[in-house]
Structure 1
Amino acid sequence: MAVVLVSIVAGCGGDDPDPTARLRVLHASPDAPNVDVLVDGNKVLSNVPYSAVSSYLTLTAGTHRITVNAAGTATTVIDVSPTLAADGAYTAIAANFVASIQPLLATDQTQAPATGQSRLRVIHAAPDAGPVDILVNGQVVLSNVAFGAISSYLPLAAGNYNVQVNVAGTATTAIQATVSLGSGVNYSAVAIGSVKTAASNPLGLKVLTDG
């Protein structure tokens, strides 16, 4: 996976640095080509393939223009200018099919839960999966979750969990995975892939460590 990471940190006079924020990028558009990511016109990620997630990039806090191009071209498919808060951490997701590609911006939890505890949130980024229910160890914890939704963090004891993504209101399971949650750690479980692209990029969970 050829991913080039460049941290952009703008300094100021004296010994006190400008406030900073952190941003990472997940390529979750199942039929899109590899992409380049630019921040304020500077390429910070190159040739990012589907399902890859970058490390956190450090940026000055404030508003930044983020563009996503087809790799090696000037063809821009996403162009947004989010405002990043000082000390904040964010996950930007390139979601949906390439013809309707859109950004999802999630604010990541940066404070660790107590020892022995964990937090897990769910992000629905599978464009043709329809509304879904999320089950943890057989119990429904989130109902009728629409594409593009970003849940709140759910507190859970550290340990291993069976996570199912079901077609909403049914027992039909589209995704099933065992998720291991560490003590004092926050996670995002991102539903990615597609029914249409099942042969190459099937439905699945991408589990990220947050903050």
Structure 2
Amino acid sequence: MLHSPLSRRLWALRTAAGLLLLGSLLGGCGTKEDPDDNDSGSSNTATVRVVNATTQRTAVDLLIDEQLRETAIARDAASATYRVSASSHTIALTNSSGTTLTDVSTTTYTAGSSTTLVAWTGDNNTVKYLSLNDLEAAPASGRTKLRVFHAARDAGTLDVHLTPATETLGDAPLLGNVTPGNGSTGFSTVNAGSHRLRVLRAGSVLDSDVRLDTTLTLPSAGVAALVITPSSGGVLTHALLLQPDKAVTALTNKQARVRVVSALPSNQAVTASFNSTTLPLLGSSPAVGGYTLVPAGTSAPQLTVSGTTLTTEPWTAAAGSDNTLFVWGTVAAAQLKVFSDDNRLPTSASASRIRLLHGLGDVVAELGLDVAGSRATNASQGAFSAVAQVSAATDTTVSVTQPTTATSVYQLTGKTLDAGAVYSVFLLGDSRQTTGNGLLSTVVKER
């Protein structure tokens, strides 16, 4: 957190910055002088810019040596380039309320150096910085020096494949088993030109495990960094292509993940498709389908219940998102709700995340989800609860009750909640029925 004197100083600086920086906030364009440097044109200076690859949903502000230099740096964009004295400097980002996003980069910049700092979000929402040397020597014509870095913490361990556009996936990625916060050691030299970039769950070449599938062009006799970045859903990824003295190229995912969950009465067949992609069949409701990759964008979901087509409204599957098409109500008046699913990993590696979908048609009251006897979250009828972060545990109890009456609706003892995992508790159908006969009560490990 910012200390009070600094907060007051920032308030005044923000007001001034809106005027001083007007017209000069094009990411990566132009060089601004350090006001503390009295010899900015000499060999005793260095240059630095910052790329915002954090998970912040709002733009961030840049502080150099606790002085506000730039406001509203958007996600996937770079700050202006700043000339600073050849010495030690602190770099920090703040959110719109002025709170510092930890950590703070303290770096000694040598005379004549040029650096790009990539800010990304690690464990416990801590902002970390990857330092790239913008003066890396260029390779021969027809080749590119490429560095790969994994900044998508929520996506887990990944393989990065870089191939010609028509080449099928093989078992030999460009970079394999890359954990968040890691990447290639220095730069590798690869062919320049157009490539197909595919990022997959580590160890897999299955289409269902593709996290990003896009194309990129690498410059001849150039230097580039490929930074894998997080998505809103947590499982899929985006990427950034960074080149010295150039604006950031955002490689946005063109896909989303969608599934169908049905809380309709027993023995109703539900089929669905979205953006011309057929989703896995639900054998018989109530049921939970698996996620399927679909083209991102706007479309009206196509749904049928026991042969009857439902009328649906257009809906947008955001690029990189996870989504649930939830069918509930009665057969004669089936309804569709669409939820954006937060399948991001726990912020702590020793925790789990868990949520509840209340799909019981006969229980109008709100339901509470308890883990190890403590209330984690609440869900209203026909909706997901907020996602709760809880301590990972073995042999614990997961239970659902009606908070107003303390009536138990569901209880599962001896459950293990793995560290770093995400769970959903589904209560679907009619609580007066038995499981498998009009009632589905289950805990699904999403990842």
Please state which band the TM-score falls in when normalised by the shorter chain.
Answer: 0.7 to 0.9
Q: State the partner residue of 1:184.
A: 221
1:204 to 238, 251, 254: 238
Q: State the partner residue of 2:440.
A: none
Residues 30 and 97, structure 1, Cα contact 8 Å, conserved in 2: no
Cα RMSD of the aligned pairs, angstroms, is: 2.6
- Structure with larger Rg: 2
1:118 to 144, 149, 156: 144
Residues 143 and 168, structure 1, Cα contact 8 Å, conserved in 2: yes
Q: 3-state SS of the aligned residue for 1:113?
A: coil
Judging changes above 3 Å, is the alpha-carbon distance between structure 1 residues 92 and 208 closer, same or farther for their aligned structure 2 residues?
same
2:176 to 137, 143, 158: 143
Residues 45 and 83, structure 2, Cα contact 8 Å, conserved in 1: yes
Judging changes above 3 Å, is the alpha-carbon distance between structure 1 residues 98 and 25 closer, same or farther for their aligned structure 2 residues?
farther
Question: Separation in 1 of the partners of 2:81 and 2:139?
Answer: 20
Question: Separation in 2 of the partners of 1:30 and 1:157?
Answer: 32
Question: Separation in 1 of the partners of 2:24 and 2:122?
Answer: 22
Amino acid at match of 1:44: R
Amino acid at match of 2:149: I
Q: State the partner residue of 1:11.
A: 38
Question: Separation in 2 of the partners of 1:133 and 1:173?
Answer: 10
Residues 3 and 47, structure 1, Cα contact 8 Å, conserved in 2: no
Amino acid at match of 1:36: D
Q: Establish whether residue 169 from structure 1 lines up as the match of residue 190 from structure 2.
A: no
Residues 122 and 181, structure 2, Cα contact 8 Å, conserved in 1: no
Q: After superposing the two structures, state which structure 1 stretch, 49-58 or 189-198, moved more.
A: 189-198
Q: 3-state SS of the aligned residue for 1:189?
A: strand
Judging changes above 3 Å, is the alpha-carbon distance between structure 1 residues 51 and 98 closer, same or farther for their aligned structure 2 residues?
farther
Amino acid at match of 2:240: K
Question: Separation in 2 of the partners of 1:106 and 1:65?
Answer: 13
2:94 to 65, 69, 72: 69
Judging changes above 3 Å, is the alpha-carbon distance between structure 1 residues 133 and 177 closer, same or farther for their aligned structure 2 residues?
same
In the alignment, structure 2 segments of 5+ residues that lack a partner are 1-22, 164-168, 246-447
Q: Establish whether residue 43 from structure 1 lines up as the match of residue 64 from structure 2.
A: no
Amino acid at match of 2:142: G
Q: State the partner residue of 2:313.
A: none
Q: 3-state SS of the aligned residue for 2:54?
A: coil
Give the C-alpha shift of residue 191 in structure 1.
0.8
Question: Separation in 1 of the partners of 2:66 and 2:113?
Answer: 22
Q: After superposing the two structures, state which structure 1 stretch, 163-172 or 102-111, moved more.
A: 102-111
Judging changes above 3 Å, is the alpha-carbon distance between structure 1 residues 97 and 149 closer, same or farther for their aligned structure 2 residues?
closer
Question: What are the Cα deviations for residues 38-63 of structure 1, in whole angstroms up to 9, with x where unaligned?
Answer: 11122222111222122432222221
Question: Separation in 2 of the partners of 1:167 and 1:85?
Answer: 39
Amino acid at match of 1:210: P
1:27 to 49, 52, 55: 52
* Runs of 4+ residues deviating >4 angstroms: none
Q: 3-state SS of the aligned residue for 1:53?
A: coil
In the alignment, structure 1 segments of 5+ residues that lack a partner are none
TM-score normalised over the length of structure 1: 0.84
Residues 126 and 147, structure 1, Cα contact 8 Å, conserved in 2: yes
Question: What are the Cα deviations for residues 61-97 of structure 1, in whole angstroms up to 9, with x where unaligned?
Answer: 22101121113x4311132311222232322222127
Give the C-alpha shift of residue 130 in structure 1.
0.5
Residues 61 and 94, structure 2, Cα contact 8 Å, conserved in 1: yes
Judging changes above 3 Å, is the alpha-carbon distance between structure 1 residues 107 and 94 closer, same or farther for their aligned structure 2 residues?
closer
Give the C-alpha shift of residue 194 in structure 1.
2.6
Q: Establish whether residue 89 from structure 1 lines up as the match of residue 114 from structure 2.
A: yes
Identity rate of aligned residues, in percent? Answer: 25
Q: 3-state SS of the aligned residue for 1:161?
A: strand
Kindly indicate whether structure 1 or structure 2 has the higher relative contact order, using CA contacts under 8 Å at least 6 residues apart. 1
Question: Separation in 2 of the partners of 1:107 and 1:93?
Answer: 8
Question: Separation in 2 of the partners of 1:35 and 1:51?
Answer: 11
